[in-house]
Structure 1
């Protein structure tokens, strides 16, 4: 007997207006529920907006400053409680700015929420182009159990690092939701978002991370513009064979796909199981240590 799970990733525009964002989240959850979705991934910073500018000069200094910063939210605060009330039986992944243990700590975070509350939280580890000026970095990759199975979360630039997704897969994640505010290139950018080189990279990373770990990969992303940034969209669901099963392209929308999760993973891993066939005794970090020493 098969058991089908429907999953969805959203491409959409979310700014600073928290009330408007929560209203949009409610509409998206309502629409997803009508389509039988059990796991819904919303973009990075969907509850309070991202940084309005992001970039660095050739010397590594930040060349622009945001007009304002995303509002800080707590895991037990009213915003996530409202998402939980909307989610009910559904698992919903949202991005937000999380407050830390002190007044000056801020984390770019994602939370997986159901009607029972927060199931898991992830703090973005890899920080691009001056993001570290505004956020503290997370320190761990950890999968967790959810109603749809064991899953993990990543945020945006994390997808460029194979080790991040691999760490979740080795912690038995069957599904990874990677939520993003991934912009188009700010140098040599293309007129068409579909042809932009950063759009191309975004899509390659999604397919590679799914294929190399033989997992289901949800990629949510911001769309439209925010400050000087133009986001590439391309929310998608990627199967464990690296195939794009559903995508929004550069437009707003919801990419929806259904899987018998156990069967999909078993089929992908039947003849060549990448996690099983690893040679961890050869991955001792020696090469990485040599690289860091030579580039110090």
Structure 2
């Protein structure tokens, strides 16, 4: 039988430009997850700073938040738990093309920290949401790469990447069994016309896409979004809806829209059964497979 892993979905409500406060809150959740025997804890995108690019303190708070990666490494080692600390915005100033009149370019980066405290995976967000493009640099044509972890082979994407099936296909072509998706997705990420068509439209998008990606790729999708203030319950524009999706099974532990934590079980035997039925990975390895991907497989064939 394949192993069963316990995963903590930590749907944090990040305070704007308050890395220390948000880190302290995240730490409390992670320690609780470790006490419950979790193997992995996943946090949302922008969990240290929130997404407030027009705040004059935002850029500096992002620069300050870079030091928290080492703190997460120490925490992972101390608690013997893997951590995906959402995304951490980095400032890049290593060449002339990376700077502007406002200072260093900003990169939105997700990390996978192993239970040993080592960083075993890094992903810079590729598909930037439209407002992000004024502030962040995309990883553009860099390949999506999976990596080995105590839970097996894992890939990472972030938020709007969810809308691109190509990203998931490239990750599973590199052997990913689990794909983590830290996110900062709200209910009002649309214009007034879109909102009037369906004020629950973003929830429909998320719930359908997360489960679809799991089915069509015979993989587990761990989606963790920012949530609203706990005291306001569901009366918030934060979308929440953090969940684990598995093929055959569908959504597990789907949360509401408020801050909180759910612990779910990821049974990797489900992935074996799904692949035996759908044969997605087997087909992709066949000679003459008719869809090309960025990654070159063994023998130099696509």
Q: Structure 2 length as normaliser, TM-score?
A: 0.80
Aligned-residue offset at 1:41: 1.1
* Residue in 1 that maps onto 2:290: 282
Higher helix share: 2
Whether the 8 Å contact between 1:45 and 1:181 is mirrored in structure 2 is yes
Aligned-residue offset at 1:34: 1.7
Partners of 2:265 and 2:292 in 1: CA distance: 38
For residue 90 of structure 1, the aligned residue among 81, 104, 116 is: 81
Aligned-residue offset at 1:271: 2.2
Partners of 1:221 and 1:268 in 2: CA distance: 26
For residue 167 of structure 2, the aligned residue among 158, 164, 167 is: 164
* Residue in 2 that maps onto 1:137: 138
* Residue in 2 that maps onto 1:110: 110
Aligned-residue offset at 1:169: 0.9
For residue 208 of structure 1, the aligned residue among 205, 212, 219 is: 212
Aligned-residue offset at 1:281: 4.2
* Residue in 1 that maps onto 2:49: 48
Partners of 1:50 and 1:20 in 2: CA distance: 15
* Residue in 1 that maps onto 2:153: 150
Partners of 1:284 and 1:119 in 2: CA distance: 27
Q: Provide the alpha-carbon RMSD of the alignment.
A: 2.5
Aligned-residue offset at 1:240: 2.8
Partners of 1:165 and 1:157 in 2: CA distance: 12
Instruction: Give 5+ residue unaligned stretches, structure 1.
Output: 53-64, 286-296
Check 1:8–1:241 CA distance in 2 against 1; reply closer, same or farther (3 A cut). Answer: farther
Partners of 2:32 and 2:149 in 1: CA distance: 21
Q: Does 1:221 align with 2:225?
A: yes
* Residue in 2 that maps onto 1:32: 33
Aligned-residue offset at 1:117: 2.7
Matches within 5 A, 1:223-238: 223-224=227-228, 230-238=237-245
Q: Structure 1 length as normaliser, TM-score?
A: 0.81
Check 1:281–1:273 CA distance in 2 against 1; reply closer, same or farther (3 A cut). Answer: closer
Partners of 1:217 and 1:284 in 2: CA distance: 23
Deviation readout 1:122-162 (Å, 9 max, x if unpaired): 10000122311100001331111111111011100000000
Deviation readout 1:63-102 (Å, 9 max, x if unpaired): xx45543433499x53111111112221111111012234
